[in-house]
Structures are given as C-alpha cells and as structure tokens.
Amino acid sequence: MKKIIDLKDLLKHEILDLYSAEEQIIDALPEMIESANDARLKESLSNHLNVSKTHKDRLDSIKKSLMGDEEETNDGFFSSLFGGSNSVTSRGVEGLIKEAGKLMDEDMTSEAKDAAIIASVQKIAHYEIAGYGTIRAYASELKLDSIAVELGKTLSEVYEADRSLTRLAVGQVNPGAEKAIDNREEEEAIDNDYDRLTNSVSIMSSSDPETDE
C-alpha cells in the first residue's frame, strides 16, 4: 500500500472510500425498496437510488480529473494505494448495510419495518454527509475549485435526501408505526371471541328445556 503523504493523497483515499460506499448503496437499496410497505417511502428510496447512481458517476469524473490516465496504469496512485481502484471497500457503509440487513430480518409489523428502513438509510446518509463534507473541504484547501463545486452538489443532494426522509418519517411513517397493531394478535383475539360466543350459544341451546308442540 502506498504511503499517504499529503492532503491530496488523503483526498484520493477518501474519494475511493466514498466510491465504494456509493457502489454498496446502489446494491442495497433495491432490497430495501422491495421490503418497504409505504408507497411514498418506496418512491423516496427509488429517487435515492437514482441520485446515488449520479453520485457514483460524478466521482468517476472527479477521479479522472484528479488523476488523468494515471489511475488506469498499474503504478498509478489509485492502483498502488489499494491494489486496484475496484479493490477498496468502505468498511463504514459495509457495516451499516449489514446492520440494516439484520434489522430487516427481525419479526416486525410492516409499519415498524418502514420506520426501521428510514432509520437505516439515514444512518448511511449521515456517513455520506460526513464524508462528502470532508473531501469538499480538502478540495477547497487544495484550490481544486471545480472538484469542490461538484462535491458540493453531491453534498447538497445527500442533505436533501436526508431531509426528505425526515419529513416522511415525522409526518407519516413514525405515527403509523406508533399506532401499529399486530394483525396476528388481532386475528387470534377475534378467533377467541368467536369461539367463546359459539361455545356460549351451544351451552344455551343444550340447556333449553324441550317443549311439546
């Protein structure tokens, strides 16, 4: 692994981390979309997926702007730093996605699952906000103005995605989860009431005296 010496090297390192993060987010979101119950949540997650693809493409352009053809060579920074530009894995986002997967496997109502999905996606978004805010600051310090502008676009889009999920959670999903009822328990209660009523009718019928016509 090549030694990271200065701020520009660190910028390249963090770009690789976020590139990996975007790849993992793009892979994980379709399953979350499928698991979501609320139609507005599905739409919000679908929009988030499309924006994440834009972020990945933007990072591709930034890498080319920073390195030119160097990243395509075996002795380029991206290759020497991690043994190839595609070999790095963002461990932070990897852990958050694994945590989200475990939570999705829990036995919960659809309303509670929607709230859990929002929480999981927002944890990932906050990782992105921290990451993109940091590398934008690095780019500004290095006078890489055009790159700082592009990273600022991504940062604004992640902020908006996070705010959109907050509005959805507070305005609709969380109140729905607060009032959620376990349908299985409700169905069992109805069945028990029906059984008690049936037994009562049966007992009353058997206790009626027989009358002659």
- Rounded distance between C-alpha atoms, residue 213 and residue 206, angstroms: 18
Q: Residue 82 is part of a domain; what is its CATH number?
A: 1.20.1260.10
The burial of 142, by beta-carbon neighbours within 10 Å (0-12 exposed, 13-18 middle, 19 or more buried), is given as middle
SS3 percent helix, strand, coil of the chain, rounded to 5, is 80, 0, 20
- Residue 31 resides in a domain: yes
Q: Quick: pLDDT tens for 156-194.
A: 999 999 999 999 999 999 999 999 998 655 555 455 555
For 7-22, the pLDDT digits (tens) are 999 999 999 999 999 9
Range of the structural domain that residue 116 is part of: 7-205
In this structure, is residue 30 part of a structural domain? yes
Asked whether residue 211 is domain-assigned, the answer is no
Mean pLDDT for all residues in the chain: 86
pLDDT in the model for residue 66? 87
Residue 2: inside a domain: no
**Mean pLDDT, rounded, for 92-117:** 97
pLDDT at position 199 is: 63
pLDDT score of 210: 56
pTM of the model: 0.80
Is 212 domain-assigned?
Answer: no
Assess if residue 83 is contained within a domain.
Answer: yes
Residue 208 scores a pLDDT above 80: no
Domain count, the chain: 1
Domain annotation covers residue 49: yes
12 found inside a domain: yes
Closest CA to 90 of 27, 137, 47: 27
211, pLDDT greater than 70: no
